[in-house]
Amino acid sequence: MPEVTIIGPDGRLEGRYHQNADRDTSPIALVLHPHPQHGGTMNNKVVYNVYHSFARQGFSVLRFNFRGVGRSQGSYDDGLGELSDAASALDWLQSYHPNAPACWIGGFSFGAWISMQLLMRRPEIDGFITIAPPANVYDFAFLAPCPSSGIVVHGAADDIVPEEDAEKLVTRLQMQKAITIDYQTIGGANHFFDDRITELSEIIDGYLVKAVKKKTKKKIAGR
């Protein structure tokens, strides 16, 4: 899990990168952390576990600190700069994997909001994992239409982002055509999935196994 330095729009960004053994054919994934002003870092346990879920399924995967967090340069920029940071991180990842057969993005809380904005701007992103999207704080109306299928996971006991707000977001997405949105809740889980990380990882692992198999079958059928 080597440390990497990414040249971002406001200076250096600190990251952690896992390279799959087969660099030329592995899919890639980028994972984004929660709010920088509320203790969010790339070492957040949810982000860490999503990162390793991708790695277990054969992805080359990157997580990094937004500007002003850890050793990343710059300062918090209300989401605009953080979106630019994420775009630079994805550029870096793609430069190492120009032939990646698939590109995914994952995000937790604030990172979920940023990741879905990046999804709208980068048509090469094939799928997403969104955890505890703060739909009661930020406007997700830009997902119209949402260009890719994915999964939303939420804690049933989340007292920061009530489940009903996440469910409303998911319902709007599920009404859209040509995509499939899976929605999973974890009973008793709070916003940070305290004591529920194992269940969260199992859900993500299971979803990725199915998604990778489905993509492989489509690729074989298209030959």
Question: How does strand 11-18 pair with strand 3-8?
Answer: antiparallel
Domain extent listing, the chain: 3-218
CA dihedral 197, 109, 205, 185 (to 10 degrees): 70
Phi-psi region for residue 10, left (φ > 0), alpha (ψ -120 to 50) or beta?
A: alpha
Please determine, for residue 220, whether its predicted confidence score (pLDDT) is greater than 70: no
Mean pLDDT, the chain, whole residue set: 94
- For 58-63, what is the mean pLDDT? 97
Q: What is the pLDDT of residues 73-126, one digit of tens each?
A: 999 999 999 999 999 999 999 999 999 999 999 999 999 999 999 999 999 999
What order do you get walking across the sheet with 149-155 strand by strand? Answer: 3-8, 11-18, 60-64, 28-32, 103-108, 127-131, 149-155, 181-186
Predicted local confidence at residue 148, as pLDDT: 96
Predicted local confidence at residue 223, as pLDDT: 40
CATH code 3.40.50.1820 for 3-218: yes
Predicted local confidence at residue 26, as pLDDT: 94
Please determine, for residue 28, whether its predicted confidence score (pLDDT) is greater than 60: yes
Please determine, for residue 218, whether its predicted confidence score (pLDDT) is greater than 60: no
Please determine, for residue 190, whether its predicted confidence score (pLDDT) is greater than 70: yes
Closest CA to 128 of 140, 137, 186: 140
Predicted local confidence at residue 1, as pLDDT: 59
State both tokens at 218. Answer: 């489509």
Please determine, for residue 65, whether its predicted confidence score (pLDDT) is greater than 90: yes
Predicted local confidence at residue 24, as pLDDT: 83
Predicted local confidence at residue 221, as pLDDT: 46
Closest CA to 144 of 111, 169, 123, 173: 173
Predicted local confidence at residue 219, as pLDDT: 47
Read off the amino acid at residue 145: P
Please determine, for residue 153, whether its predicted confidence score (pLDDT) is greater than 80: yes
